[in-house]
Amino acid sequence: MNKRILFTGGGSAGHVTVNTALIPHFEKEGWDITYIGSEDGIEKEIITEQFPHIPYESISSGKLRRYFSWKNFSDPFRVMKGVFDALSVIRKTKPDIIFSKGGFVSVPVVMAAKIAKIPVAIHESDVTPGLANKLAVPFATKIFTTFPETVHSLPSDKSLCAGAIIREELFSGDASEGKRLAGYYDEKPVLLIMGGSLGARKINESVRGNLEELLSRFQIIHICGKGNIDEAYIQKGYRQYEFIKSELPHYLAMTDYVISRAGSNSIFEFLALKKPMLLIPLSREASRGDQILNADSFVKHGYALKLEEEKLNQESFLMKVNELTGSRDTIIQNMEKGQKAYTIQDMYEELSTMAR
């Protein structure tokens, strides 16, 4: 009989990316796979599109808010219903192990796993655990962290720094194919700019305000977010995209420098590919501050430069780009000396050992 694994995680693309990296390996090894997510979350869209053959089970889940809302009074009941929903799925699929990437939908799943006595592995991407993973920690069998400093804030007997789990296809990019797709044949270095799934207005404005100066030195791939392409700036050497999917490995292969938000999954992918980066984390007003801590950790290890959103303008942006190009060799040397992360095979072996 095949071994069985249940994946969960959702609410944002970052809570699904690690799962989508691991699923193909478990499929290759012959495991039966089920995914638990919410009915209308982004995880359903991603999983059903990439793995339409994998059973997707929807459960009730409440949203975990850090601010006052009347829904905070009703959502605990939705979470409790989610526990019973998840318990029903667990009893039907009989998994040997559950892997949770976090997000609010994962909380009832790990609680149900504890009731059903199924081992649970949690993966935390950020320096400080998100609220969902904080709630899930008491129910977890093992907790894998991405940043080494995260281990110090978790139970020492079941926490381990594994690093980021990087999608294998990112290492298969072809720089010449990327340049062909972009129509770039000059010898200028390539600057890749990523503002997150919705783009970033201030980053986009800083790029376009400095476009003439930047194009004198770089060829630019600008992932500017949905609805943010501006046809007024279309010109040679500057390609705008709302988002990039299957071609991303080729574009990353040809990239010399990256400017990005500081979401954990993305910056560890750039680290694995040895791409010097300038990080512009989401401000505390727009987030819980996790991206700021992620960026600070990378700066401390010499992997990146950081520019705070509050200090972002055309002048500071250009100054930091100049600093980035001047620091290229040092950053790459620091990346090469850095701690090696778990491979997908390493994580597979860990989870296989944990399986009941």
- The verdict on 76 and 116 lying in the same domain is yes
Distances from the Cα of 72 to the Cαs of 64, 120, 132, in angstroms?
8, 27, 15
- Domain identity same for 143 and 176: no
Residues 100 and 249 in one domain: no
Rounded (to 5) percent helix, strand, coil in the chain: 50, 15, 35
CATH number at residue 45: 3.40.50.2000
Quick one: pLDDT at residue 252? 97
Residue 65 has a pLDDT of 47
Residues 347 and 325 in one domain: no
Burial of 294 (0-12, 13-18, 19+ CB in 10 A): buried
Q: Give yes or no: residues 310 and 346 share one domain.
A: no
Residue 223 structure tokens? 């992932």
**One-letter amino acid for residue 263 of the chain:** G
* C-alpha neighbours within 13 Å on the C-beta side of residue 318: 14
User: Tokens for 178?
Assistant: 């990327």
Report the pLDDT value the prediction gives residue 131, as an integer from 0 to 100: 84
Tell me, yes or no, whether 174 and 160 share the same domain.
no
Tell me, yes or no, whether 154 and 205 share the same domain: no
| Residue 228 shares a structural domain with residue 278 | yes
Q: How far apart are CA 169 and CA 335, in angstroms?
A: 20
Mark whether 124 and 191 lie in a shared domain. no
Spatial separation of the C-alpha atoms in residues 240 and 203, rounded to whole Å: 13
Provide the domain limits for residue 149: 4-165+341-354
| Residue 123 and residue 238 share a domain | no
Based on the fold, state whether residues 117 and 200 are members of the same structural domain. no
Measure the CA–CA gap between 203 and 211, rounded to whole angstroms. Answer: 12
CB 159 within 8 A of CB 151: yes
How far is 101 from 3, CA to CA, in rounded Å? 20
Main-chain dihedrals φ then ψ at residue 133, nearest 5 degrees = -70, -35
For residue range 175-213, what is the model confidence (pLDDT) as tens digits? 999 999 999 977 899 999 998 655 588 899 999 999 999
Residues 6 or more apart in contact with residue 148 via CB below 8 angstroms: 161, 339
Domains held by the chain: number: 2
Euclidean distance between CA atoms 17 and 22, whole angstroms? 9
pLDDT at position 14: 79
Positions of the chain with pLDDT under 50 = 65, 67, 70, 73
Give the model's pLDDT for residue 253.
Answer: 97
How many whole angstroms separate alpha carbon 111 and alpha carbon 133?
11
Task: State pLDDT tens for residues 306-325.
Answer: 999 999 999 999 999 999 99
Q: What is the pLDDT of residue 63?
A: 62
Q: Are residues 262 and 319 in the same domain?
A: yes
